[in-house]
Amino acid sequence: MSYTTKARMARTKTQVRQENVTTLVNDLSIDLTDAFQLQRLAKSLHRSYENECNYGLTPRQETRERNLWAQVEEIAAKYSLHVQEQGDPRGWPIIIDREPIDEQRTSSYERVCPF
């Protein structure tokens, strides 16, 4: 497969974000506004995890991270969903599902796009 064919097959961040919103809305019955808010929170958490990994967090940044998670949990509770933090800066930071999240099979749960 040529480079240009691979490039055409690659999805843009915008396409990934749109697919993720569609999944959150259709599969988990989250309101569109809340789906966008979850993505914004995911982006902020992702940046926070990168900073924590690279430099460590100040007390102010730690407080902000806790507040971001409180907002995520508030949205999840509104829809009776379960959330889990995925703090590795290489991945998507929020894992969300209707069922309680089991550490052994996290790959089958929906994640929230941080782009």
CA distances, 14 to each of 8, 11, 39, 113 (Å): 14, 8, 12, 10
Report pLDDT digits (tens) over 36-73. 999 999 999 999 999 999 999 999 999 999 999 999 99
State mean pLDDT over 5-28: 80
pLDDT at res. 67: 97
> Letter for the amino acid at 86?
Q
Please compute, for residue 109, the number of CA atoms within 13 A of its CA located in the half-sphere on the CB side: 23
